[in-house]
Structure formats: structure tokens, C-alpha cells
Amino acid sequence: MTAIDHTAVTLDPEEARRVRQERLERIGRWLLPLAIMVLAIWLWDRICVWND
């Protein structure tokens, strides 16, 4: 066995669910506010264009 060999780690269903939930939470923490800001900027641009 060398230092770069990776052994497969088996996860029980509860731990796999927890890891998946943590990953989704980590992604959502950045994606949701970013999506809201992009939508708000786009809507503001549309309002400004429609009022011209």
C-alpha cells in the first residue's frame, strides 16, 4: 500500500444522509442568496427599461 492509495470508506445509510444533507446545506448557503440577488438586479433592470 502506498501513500496515494485510497481505500473505499463504507457509510451506513444514516451517515450518508447526513453527509448529503450537509453538502446541500453548504451549497444552498451560497446559491440561494446569489440567485435572489441576480433576480433582484434583473428585475430592477427590467423596471428601469419599462419606465423609459
Would you say residue 44 lies in a domain? yes
Q: What is the pLDDT of residue 3?
A: 66
Would you say residue 39 lies in a domain? yes
Q: What is the pLDDT of residue 41?
A: 98
Would you say residue 5 lies in a domain? no
Counted domains in the chain: 1
Q: What is the pLDDT of residue 2?
A: 63
pLDDT tens track for 1-52: 566 766 666 778 899 899 999 999 999 999 999 999 999 999 999 999 988 7
Q: What is the pLDDT of residue 52?
A: 79
Residue 4 to residue 16: CA distance in whole angstroms: 24
Would you say residue 14 lies in a domain? no
- Strand ranges, E, within the chain: none
Range of the domain at 41: 27-51
Residues in the chain, overall count: 52
Would you say residue 8 lies in a domain? no
Would you say residue 4 lies in a domain? no
Residue 20 to residue 43: CA distance in whole angstroms: 33
Q: What is the pLDDT of residue 20?
A: 93
